[in-house]
Copies of this chain bind each other. A is one copy, B any other.
Amino acid sequence: MDATLSAARRSWVASAQAPDADFPIQNLPFGVFADPASAAGRVGVAIGDRILDVVAALDAGLITGHAADAAEACRGGSLNGLMTLGRPAASALRHAIGELLTDDGAAPSGTRQRVGRLLVPIADVRMHLPATVGDYTDFYASVFHATNVGRLFRPDAPLLPNYKYVPIGYHGRASSLVPSGTPVARPSGQTKGPDAATPSFGPTRMLDYEAELGFFIASGSDGASAGDDRVSITDAESRIFGVCLVNDWSARDIQSWEYQPLGPFLSKSFATSVSPWVVTMDALAPFRVPAYERPAGDPAPLPYLAASGAGGIDLTIEVSLQSAAMRERGTPAVRLSRGNVRDLYWTLAQMVTHHTSNGCPLRPGDLLASGTVSGPTPDSLGCLLEMTRRGADRITLPGGETRAFLEPGDEVIIRGYCARPGATRIGLGHCSGIVG
């Protein structure tokens, strides 16, 4: 962990010091924002309820040395440039920005005023996708999710024989990635009821969310091309720039009819929402924990996936829902579930290593996601398919509405954060969308 961003540090930005702040000075996530009137994105770092404009700070002479090289890479208006430089460059930039925002009085006189003029309220901007994503890959790393879903289709053998050996994943669609807040139109598609003779085409009746952890790829730590090598399990974390939240919206009725034999396709590619702030692996360091402990009897990972150390992350993911009726009444969103990334069967590093084990090039800015983060308890299930057992057990919302799947006007809000006694809370912000 970067000592300069230790728990003792505080920022002079007052909103960063609230106990429930997502973006204290220990976090400093990267994102891309735009003036609502402008299409051009600018790289920023979040502090409290403000954003520091990185290129504006560079141009004001506030960022120097190695960090200035990293800040130069932000001129493209996406994080791809910084991701191409690799994690050490991003760490240097984050460190330098931390110095500008810290409350220890070490900065030269007047700096605080100059920095203050470059801060933009988050509430005043529109957030873009953090990076131009070349390829998006979605994994299936929660054994609880895989088991629950499998049980709905194959009660006697919920988990397929490959699951405990292979970090199962599939190629997702990059063109349908949208920033948090984008409305999600209800997709149409082919569906076929179990008793219907033939399929029909129309709007999905089983629209669902999936709460996931996303992570962006950086070049190797040598700054070299990111696309030419298998990544060993020991190097894999050096290729993870940081994490975000992902909602892998899913049309379950389309999915069940289309998915054999080549996997999910149109049931997913209508929209995938991504939260705007990329929280660095440096910021997550105080919350690293041992990887999920496999139950006795489970096979060990094959050697190319075997790792020791703190491969897990103690990161809570909560899903809340606010229906149109609740919004109208002023009833706040109600929490549906609370899962934790530490319960994933496969670590982020294992997913990266497996992904490149065939020589597949990962490029800076590529997005990987964990798959639905579900845990072992009924209150930790990250999608409605699991919670309602494909609609069999409807859930009740405040005011008496019930849900099997999402209804028009429902807003789904996913939040992520790391918190434990003695450590400063690190938030991922939120990923939301209202469905049609």
Scan residues 243-262 of chain A and give those whose CB is less than 8 A from a CB of chain B: 251, 254, 257-262
Chain B residue with the shortest CB-CB distance to A165: B199
> Inside 8 A of A357's CB, which chain B residues have their CB?
188-189, 201, 266
> Inside 8 A of A165's CB, which chain B residues have their CB?
190, 192, 198-199
Chain B residue with the shortest CB-CB distance to A305: B201
CB-CB under 8 A for A270 and B360, given A174-B174, A264-B262 = yes
> Inside 8 A of A190's CB, which chain B residues have their CB?
162, 165-166, 302
**A269 interface residue, CB < 8 Å from B?**
yes
**A98 interface residue, CB < 8 Å from B?**
no
Among candidates B185, B200, B263, B362, residue contacting A170 with C-beta atoms closer than 8 Å: B263
CA distance A354 to B261 in the complex (A): 17
CB-CB under 8 A for A168 and B258, given A227-B175, A359-B270, A360-B266 = yes
Scan residues 125-177 of chain A and give those whose CB is less than 8 A from a CB of chain B: 134-135, 140, 150, 160, 162, 165-166, 168-176
Distance (whole angstroms) from the CB of A191 to the closest CB of chain B: 10
CA distance A160 to B176 in the complex (A): 28
Establish whether residues A187 and B302, one from each chain, have CB atoms under 8 Å apart when the complex forms. no
> Inside 8 A of A430's CB, which chain B residues have their CB?
none
**A363 interface residue, CB < 8 Å from B?**
yes
Chain B residue with the shortest CB-CB distance to A260: B160
Establish whether residues A140 and B188, one from each chain, have CB atoms under 8 Å apart when the complex forms. no
Distance (whole angstroms) from the CB of A199 to the closest CB of chain B: 5
Among candidates B172, B270, B302, B366, residue contacting A358 with C-beta atoms closer than 8 Å: B270
> Inside 8 A of A287's CB, which chain B residues have their CB?
none
**A116 interface residue, CB < 8 Å from B?**
no
Chain B residue with the shortest CB-CB distance to A269: B360
**A303 interface residue, CB < 8 Å from B?**
yes
> Inside 8 A of A258's CB, which chain B residues have their CB?
162, 166, 168
Q: Number of contacting residues on A, CB 8 A? A: 58
Chain B residue with the shortest CB-CB distance to A354: B266
Contact with B along A310-321 (1 / 0, CB 8 A): 000000000000
Establish whether residues B358 and A269, one from each chain, have CB atoms under 8 Å apart when the complex forms. yes
Establish whether residues B303 and A175, one from each chain, have CB atoms under 8 Å apart when the complex forms. no
Among candidates B168, B198, B267, B361, residue contacting A176 with C-beta atoms closer than 8 Å: B361
**A292 interface residue, CB < 8 Å from B?**
no
> Inside 8 A of A361's CB, which chain B residues have their CB?
175-176
CA distance A174 to B365 in the complex (A): 13
Q: How many copies does the complex hold?
A: 2
**A299 interface residue, CB < 8 Å from B?**
yes
Establish whether residues B266 and A263, one from each chain, have CB atoms under 8 Å apart when the complex forms. no
Contact with B along A180-210 (1 / 0, CB 8 A): 0000010111101000001111000000000
> Inside 8 A of A266's CB, which chain B residues have their CB?
354-355, 357-358, 360
CA distance A135 to B251 in the complex (A): 21
> Inside 8 A of A169's CB, which chain B residues have their CB?
262, 265
Scan residues 310-362 of chain A and give those whose CB is less than 8 A from a CB of chain B: 354-355, 357-362
Known: A134-B174, A188-B358, A259-B263. 16 other contacts (CB 8 A): A135-B175, A160-B261, A166-B199, A168-B258, A171-B173, A171-B265, A175-B227, A176-B360, A185-B359, A188-B359, A199-B302, A201-B302, A254-B358, A263-B264, A266-B360, A267-B358
Q: List 25 A-B contacts (CB under 8 A).
A: A135-B174, A160-B260, A165-B198, A166-B199, A166-B258, A169-B265, A170-B263, A171-B171, A171-B265, A173-B360, A175-B362, A176-B361, A188-B357, A188-B358, A198-B299, A199-B302, A201-B302, A259-B261, A259-B262, A261-B263, A263-B264, A266-B354, A266-B355, A266-B360, A271-B359
Chain A positions near chain B (C-beta within 8 angstroms): 134-135, 140, 150, 160, 162, 165-166, 168-176, 185, 187-190, 192, 198-201, 227, 251, 254, 257-267, 269-271, 299, 302-304, 354-355, 357-363, 366
Q: Give the 8 A-B CB pairs with smallest separation, nearest first.
A: A263-B263, A187-B358, A170-B262, A171-B171, A266-B358, A269-B360, A262-B263, A270-B358
